[in-house]
């Protein structure tokens, strides 16, 4: 029996965290690395991607592989400590998750599964899951540590689909970034994007099947209709 899956990105989809990540990158780079990171650099090269890939692109040849790994971990710890307590949910995201959990737990036919797929490290996923009491929300969690290449490479969404037993054509991805939309479409999935981080026009141009400002007007019927094409 086909499984229907809803695959959630995390930053900008569950929580309004991109401005916090930008501020964390700017403060961390200035205080710890003596570097300047502009908003343009962040949205062009960092948002929605693995830190190591982004830093290697922004500062080619400056850091060794070991240094990139260390800097990435230190920046994320810096972000969680300094900005984590201030994070708030994307409007409607927790309500949508609650509705989808009830749908899944109702033993619906076809079965419904929920997965989290974030380019961030597992520590960030664990922090958000704990911060917003989402311990039983997801049937699977895939992070940047589980894949070699980050979005727009489709591997993270293909891995999430496989982990919940769903075929790509039966998956809806919830995204907020151009790289994430591209990853979803390359994976052969439907994609609903929210314009919490990037303009709606850029998300549509990247291939999003539908774009909303947030999740206040999204429910399980919206996602079922999207899957039906």
Q: Which residue is catalytic, options 2, 9, 139, 209?
A: 9
CB atoms < 10 A from the CB of 35, how many?
16
Is 153 designated active site?
no
Q: Which residues are paired to 193 by β-bridges?
A: 175, 211
Q: Which residue is catalytic, options 2, 11, 133, 209?
A: 11
The Cα–Cα gap between 130 and 3 comes to: 27
Q: 176: closest CA among 189, 194, 156, 152?
A: 194
Is 139 designated active site?
no
The Cα–Cα gap between 127 and 77 comes to: 10
The Cα–Cα gap between 180 and 32 comes to: 29
Ranges of beta strands (E only) in the chain are: 4-8, 112-117, 140-142, 171-175, 190-194, 210-212
**Distances 200 to 6, 47, 159, 172, 186 between C-alpha atoms, Å:** 21, 16, 27, 18, 19
Which amino acids are annotated catalytic?
A: 9, 11
């Amino acid at each position: 029996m086909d499984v229907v899956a809803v695959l959630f990105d995390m930053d900008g989809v569950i929580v309004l965290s991109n401005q916090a990540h930008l501020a964390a990158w700017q403060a961390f780079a200035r205080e710890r690395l003596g570097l300047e990171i502009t908003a343009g650099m962040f949205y062009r090269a960092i948002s929605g991607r693995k830190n190591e890939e982004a830093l290697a692109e922004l500062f080619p040849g400056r850091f060794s592989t070991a240094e990139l790994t260390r800097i990435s971990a230190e920046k994320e710890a810096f972000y969680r400590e300094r900005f984590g307590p201030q994070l708030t949910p994307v409007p409607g995201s927790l309500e949508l998750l609650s509705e989808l959990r009830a749908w899944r737990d109702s033993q619906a036919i076809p079965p419904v599964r929920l997965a989290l797929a974030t380019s961030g490290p597992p520590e960030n996923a664990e922090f958000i899951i704990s911060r917003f009491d989402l311990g039983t929300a997801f049937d699977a969690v895939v992070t940047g540590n589980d894949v070699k290449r980050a979005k727009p490479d489709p591997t993270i969404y293909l891995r999430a689909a496989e982990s919940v037993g769903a075929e790509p054509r039966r998956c809806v991805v919830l995204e907020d970034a151009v790289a994430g939309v591209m990853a979803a479409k390359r994976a052969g999935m439907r994609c609903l994007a929210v314009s919490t981080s990037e303009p709606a026009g850029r998300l549509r141009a990247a291939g999003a099947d539908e774009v909303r400002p947030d999740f206040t007007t999204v429910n399980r019927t919206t996602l079922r209709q999207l899957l039906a094409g």
